[in-house]
Chain A
Amino acid sequence: MSVVTEVSSDGKKLTISIEGRFDFGRHHEFRESYERLDYKPESIVVDLKKATYLDSSALGMLLLLRDHAGGDSSDIRVVNSSSDVKKILAISNFDKLFDIS
């Protein structure tokens, strides 16, 4: 599994961890990771610690997640981005939509 999900014990926080290349090949798994929950978590963390690469379809997937989580009112943090991944997120100005660290 290259997309691993974990829900906090109080059920309020969903953590989605991506391993390896974050690209179109992860599309199905990534959507599944939050769509299969039958409720909406209050906050979502996307952990990119083990992600080696991220392409524009991954950015699209992040937008889908944001839309699913309520758009402007969503609370999504993207954490543990490598410097390469951070550069890609910075070029796209995605820090205007997500809390990136």
Chain B
Amino acid sequence: MTPDRTYFSAAWAVAWRYLHNLYTKPAVFVPGLIFPLFFLAAFAGGLSAVGDTPRFDYYNFTAFQFCFILIQASALAGVFVGFSIAGDFEQGMGRRMMLATSRRSSILLGYALGAALRLIVVWVIITGVSLLAGMEVRATGYDLAGMYTLGLLSNVVALLFSAGIAFRFRSLQAGPLMQMPVFIALFLAPVYVPQELLTGWIEPVARLNPVTALLNGARSLMAGDPTGILLAYGVAFGLIALLALWALRGLRRAEVAG
């Protein structure tokens, strides 16, 4: 096999193992699916009256919340992969994977591939449930592709962040360190109302929060009125570039630690 083929075949093996573990252990797969559905029900169902407040000009409250759930579910799917990496290293599997691959970044690529494939299932389910709950879609096919791509990029951002922590700590005890910052960043964005309606301390925080750009971009695409898309993609790719360095340096530390 050529070096490139070896690299991708190692990545594919890691992805396959991850997906196999995921779908044969419901306790691992189900929480990642249940949490977004739960938030969708709680927000789109319980807060729909918020859509009637003055100056709330988004066309459909379920669609408004769906965009948040899409970004949230995508990001949390990335975090859950971080848990798997930490678990694999804790049990010694990570070390064996390192011995089996010549270029270790293929391990990270494999987990990322697995996360992306897992995400498709999550997307299908939350989209189906939202449509059943009365979500109206105004996006064109291109807009939808752009919106789901933002979801995928959110997934990669969260995955690289969590992987960086997982490679450094190599223990599931680092789980809260992966989950909490992502959870906090998500909830410091305009979750319940458009950014213009935020007041008080959360308004400047949301303005500076990179998740806000992703969320606003996704919502505008869903409404078929794309605005701030360059900013959203710029923020996503900028974070990916920074966090790829973070994750790869973490991988290097894991290699050094043996």
Q: Do A and B bind each other?
A: no
Chain B interface residues (CB < 8 Å from chain A)? none
Residues of A within 8 A of B (CB): none
